[in-house]
Structure 1
Amino acid sequence: FISRLYRKTFLFHFRNLRWALGRNNTFLCYQVDREERDSTVFLETRLHAELCFLYWLHDYPLQFPDQHLQITWFISWSPCSDCAQQVAAFLASHSNLSLTIYAARLYYFWNHSYQEGLRALQREGARVEIMCSGPVIPATLR
């Protein structure tokens, strides 16, 4: 399913709020930089956004092992502990990937397992940043 994220939807879901009432979905916007071109695909499914991305990307690093991919995510919630662990494992098995995550909000930041999931991402080289002072608006949404 390919669609464009509406500006109003982006601004609502990507605000950095301590109590994010009415924001029960996770949105993941991404950019994949590689030598030839950028790629954008929007998926709608019941899987967590991070896992949808991994399914979409799954075969690419194996098909082109000499090509380095720099992946940037803009995500409305930080990954849950299970997704963070799966993404970390994916990064560990694909040395030609680099991941930067900009999250609007931390998901269950007080929960030790969610903290450990973010640490696992960092151990595998992912850069995890929290957005502040309002949303970061990608050029395509301005």
Structure 2
Amino acid sequence: MNRMLGYVFTEQFDNSKYPKETWLCQILSEIRWADIKVYRNRKEHADVICLRENEAAIQGADQYEITWYISWSPCNECAFQVIEFVEQHPHVKMNIFVSRLFRHQSSPHKQGLRDLSQHERIGLKVMTLTDFQDCFDCFVAEGNGFQNWKDLAGNSARYAAILEEITTQTFHRNPVLMLQDTTVFCQLFFPPVLFINMKKISSCDFTKQFKNLRYATGLKETWLCQILKEDDGAENLKVHRNGKQHAEMICLRQKESAIQAEITWYISWSPCDTCTPEIITFMEKHPKVKLNIFASRLYYGNNKIISSTVLIALLMAVDLDPGERLKEIQNSMLKC
């Protein structure tokens, strides 16, 4: 549909209410034309339906600007798809105006909002009185003009403050729990992205695969980003992912000829109980090789990795002194 009724607009966009549906009003514009359309949840979220239709509408290398007025902010899954869409279309810019924040106390949805706000071609903003008026004027088919509802400005300010707090929140990367360190260093990390200069994994793939969600449902693959630093200082960067074997096994097999090197892994899942002894065996066969493992999530039932040759550091949003050795590792991380 291209328009909505006035009472529907008020029901769906009133930021003092909590309707179950999501309505999305889009302006898709190119230098020569503009198109408007209204979407709502069906069997899929309105965001997903809209993006799929945009795939067919956007052609060639023309510059496009997409403006969304949306009654609920995108969920974490939709946020990922929005970012993926923009990444796949380098000539597209998006402006997203939200009436309310969807489940903003949930960590996955918070991260989705952060990811959207940090993208250079995506603007994310809570709707103000002017934005509600603009949306009404463009998308409502009839009525006596926009009617302000009670405490619109107060609710907008409250949501804007919450969004700012979410999108500007930073995480410290200091350890809370440490065990005896000898050969292998294994660490959990929080975003932001550490792969900015690696250029071998897209930002969309990173966001999808490395999110440290408490319940990473559907993320069955392991991605492994490796930095191999030779004794002469030369560095080799490569990305591995599960094939017929786990990514760790593929990576270790290619390193059998290593004599003296420092290997750093950034891995989406910590090594499983099968891969862990293989890693330790590899290290015992190559006494001049040092391995640093940075894991985004702990693999289910992975208890055997806690051994005399492994250090586990669980990172939390706290500020503790990590010690000189960990400072060295963290400094090297930031140079990657």
TM-score, normalization: structure 2? Answer: 0.33
Aligned to 2:225, what secondary structure does the other structure show? strand
Residue 107 of structure 1, CA deviation: 0.4
Residue 39 of structure 1, CA deviation: 1.0
Alignment of 1:37-56 (within 5 A): 37-43=234-240, 45-56=243-254
Which structure is richer in relative contact order (CA contacts within 8 A, separation 6 or more)? 1
Kindly report the root-mean-square deviation, in angstroms, between the aligned alpha carbons of the 2 structures: 2.5
Counterpart for residue 65 of structure 1: none
CA distance in 2, matches of 1:115, 1:76: 17
Counterpart for residue 115 of structure 1: 303
CA distance in 1, matches of 2:334, 2:210: 11
Q: Which runs of 5+ in 2 are unaligned?
A: 1-198, 318-332
What is the one-letter code of the residue matched to 1:102? F
CA contact (8 A) 1:4 1:42 kept: yes
What is the one-letter code of the residue matched to 1:58? E
Residue 18 of structure 1, CA deviation: 1.1
CA contact (8 A) 1:104 1:132 kept: no
Does the C-alpha gap of structure 1 residues 13 and 33 become closer, same or farther in structure 2, counting only changes over 3 Å?
Answer: same
Counterpart for residue 24 of structure 1: 220
Runs of 4+ in 1 over 3 A off after TM superposition: 41-44, 126-133, 137-140
Does the C-alpha gap of structure 1 residues 128 and 49 become closer, same or farther in structure 2, counting only changes over 3 Å?
Answer: farther
Residue 7 of structure 1, CA deviation: 1.0
CA contact (8 A) 1:77 1:107 kept: yes
Max Rg structure: 2
CA distance in 2, matches of 1:31, 1:94: 17
Residue 22 of structure 1, CA deviation: 2.0
Q: Which runs of 5+ in 1 are unaligned?
A: 62-67
Alignment of 1:18-97 (within 5 A): 18-34=214-230, 35-43=232-240, 45-61=243-259, 68-97=260-289
Residue 31 of structure 1, CA deviation: 0.6
Residue 53 of structure 1, CA deviation: 0.7
CA contact (8 A) 1:28 1:73 kept: yes
CA contact (8 A) 2:229 2:261 kept: yes
Does the C-alpha gap of structure 1 residues 56 and 89 become closer, same or farther in structure 2, counting only changes over 3 Å?
Answer: same
Does the C-alpha gap of structure 1 residues 99 and 81 become closer, same or farther in structure 2, counting only changes over 3 Å?
Answer: same
Does the C-alpha gap of structure 1 residues 132 and 5 become closer, same or farther in structure 2, counting only changes over 3 Å?
Answer: farther
What is the one-letter code of the residue matched to 2:214? R
CA contact (8 A) 1:30 1:40 kept: yes
1:68-87: CA deviation from partner (whole Å, max 9, x where unpaired): 31111100000000101100
CA distance in 2, matches of 1:17, 1:54: 27
Aligned to 2:245, what secondary structure does the other structure show? coil
Counterpart for residue 7 of structure 1: 203
CA distance in 2, matches of 1:94, 1:54: 11
CA distance in 1, matches of 2:224, 2:271: 10
CA contact (8 A) 2:224 2:240 kept: no
